[in-house]
Amino acid sequence: MADLLKIKSAVEDFQKEYFHKNSQAEENRERETTAATQIQSWFRACKVRAYLSHLHKKAVIIQKIWRGFTARARVRQMVKEAYFIMKMNFYNTMAVRIQRQWRGFFVRKYIRNFYARKNYMERLIIKNHLIRRELDEIEEFQKRESECLEMVKEQTAKISQAQRLHHLLSTKQCPGVFNSPFRPAPHEMELMLRQVKYQTPTRLVPRDRACLLCIPGSAAPSSSGTPKSPLIKSTGTYGSRPLLPPIASKNQQVMMVKAKIFTDEK
């Protein structure tokens, strides 16, 4: 019995101690968990920092190698460009020297030769003077020729007009249209009418027919106009004006003189 009581008392003590230990463990569990978490985080941080430091060292090595390679390549390119520029500068300097020597020789021999230049200018002045004189002579000749042609043309026109208006010539019995008694002197056309002879009106060949006959501007003779025949229109040298028939009676001339005097008075 005594042993049983001892065992019971020992079990009760063990239960109490177990309960006390569990209660203490529960009380310290949160603190221990926090401490373990801190330890784990510190260790993991140490591992990550060590790994990052290792990566950083390797990246620095790679960057150093690459930058050295690119720098050496760039330096080689700069050396090549500098050598090329130096060579081109040397070539340009030599070319400038050659050009300077050649231009000086050419100018001294062909351009700045004073006596040759002087002779050339003298000959040029003489030639210009001769050419100007020839041009003046040609201009004067052309001017005289044009004046002569104009005079001949004007005189021919006056003569043809006088031939066409010969029937207006004044007579002793009746003055003509161009010899009015109210004028101090006869008209120029009156003098021209006295000098030319009467020309019978002729029928001119039409222009298309003259072209077919290969005689441009030629007139074929035809029967002279009579008082009984109608007015004949011409297409040749006198234009489109009709040729007047010869004077048939004195009354027509008197009427034309009166009409001319009336127009002059107006």
User: How confident is the chain (266 residues) per 10-residue block, as mean pLDDT?
Assistant: 73 76 79 89 94 95 96 96 96 96 86 80 93 94 92 85 75 72 76 72 52 40 37 40 51 53 54
pTM above 0.85, yes or no: no
Q: Per-residue DSSP letters for 134-173?
A: HHHHHHHHHHHHHHHHHHHHHHHHHHHHHHHTGGG---SS
Residue 165 structure tokens: 């208006």
Q: Which of 246, 244, 256, 252 is nearest to 179 (CA)?
A: 256
**Measured between alpha carbons, how far apart are the two ends of the chain, in Å?**
192
Contact 176, 168 (CB under 8 A): yes
pLDDT for residue 68: 95
Contact 205, 219 (CB under 8 A): yes
DSSP-assigned letter for residue 196: S
Q: Which of 166, 168, 163, 161 is nearest to 252 (CA)?
A: 168
